[in-house]
């Protein structure tokens, strides 16, 4: 396949493995309010959704104001722990290669803006994305297709000219509903679960040979106009 004109990335679980930190913040909140949710349930029902949506599902009988307070508390606790985050293996090199090819880099996330700013700063990639879509600020977040449709519009590309990287069922549904071919990152779900949710391809991280095999790693030609040769990570 020809190199996509735009690479659209989710954040949590796709750029870095934030899910254990989110889960810890949720578990503390749940314990304080007499609730328990196991990891498997969280991964299948809640991963990739907005915090507001998760809290509304877990605490349906609370008032809106009480749920807003819980959302703020959960996010504050999460941000207290992000200093331990690191990019997924190969991510920085991959972003460099994409940028050198002149393809557009976009971030499309359900995370609140404060979390996005914090996580990107910790990873040192706060200036890497020319398009940033905060889905929670739109009329419909993921799994609705609107976040990815908006990203395509801002990137100036069609769905067939882009590829999405996602790790959650909600994110995969959003991207697929927008008509974009999607790569599933195996941080939260396994390959079978990702493929069953609409992923075209799955990778362990950004050193995965599948990126080269499927034409998703820019060649030297695409990066600098030289002889066609893949410049890929050492495996």
Under DSSP, is residue 146 helix (H, G, I), strand (E, B) or coil? helix
Placement of tokens 């739109």 in the chain: 138
Residues in Cβ contact with 94 at an 8 Å cutoff, skipping those fewer than 6 apart: 206, 211, 217
User: Could you give the CA distance from residue 43 to residue 21 in angstroms, rounded to a whole number?
Assistant: 13
Q: For 82-189, where are the alpha helices, taking DSSP H only?
A: 91-100, 113-123, 146-155, 169-177
- Cα 193 to Cα 195: distance, rounded to the nearest angstrom: 6
165 and 183 Cβ atoms separated by less than 8 Å: yes
- Give the whole-angstrom CA distance, residue 234 versus residue 90: 10
* Residue 208 designated active-site: no
Q: What angle do CA 9, 47, 33 make, to 5 degrees?
A: 140
12 catalytic per annotation: yes
Positions marked active-site: 10, 12
């Amino acid at each position: 396949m020809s190199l996509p004109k735009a690479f659209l990335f989710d954040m949590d679980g796709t750029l870095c493995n934030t899910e254990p930190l989110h889960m810890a913040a949720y578990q503390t909140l749940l314990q304080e309010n007499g609730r328990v949710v196991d990891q498997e349930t969280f991964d299948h029902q809640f991963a990739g959704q907005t915090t507001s949506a998760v809290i509304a599902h877990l605490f349906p009988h609370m008032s809106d104001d009480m749920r807003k307070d819980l959302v703020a508390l959960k996010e504050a606790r999460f941000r207290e722990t992000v200093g331990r985050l690191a990019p997924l293996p190969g991510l920085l090199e991959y972003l460099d290669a994409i940028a050198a090819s002149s393809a557009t880099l976009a971030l499309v996330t359900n995370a609140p803006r404060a979390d996005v700013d914090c996580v990107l700063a910790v990873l040192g990639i706060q200036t890497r994305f020319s398009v940033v879509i905060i889905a929670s600020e739109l009329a419909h977040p993921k799994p609705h297709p609107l976040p990815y449709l908006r990203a395509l519009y801002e990137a100036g590309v069609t769905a067939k000219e882009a590829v999405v990287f996602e790790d959650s069922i909600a994110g995969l549904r959003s991207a697929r509903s927008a008509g974009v071919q999607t790569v599933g990152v195996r941080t939260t779900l396994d390959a079978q679960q990702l493929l069953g949710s609409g992923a075209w391809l799955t990778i362990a991280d950004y050193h995965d040979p599948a990126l080269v095999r499927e034409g998703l790693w820019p060649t030297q030609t695409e990066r600098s106009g030289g002889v066609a040769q893949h410049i890929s990570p050492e495996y």
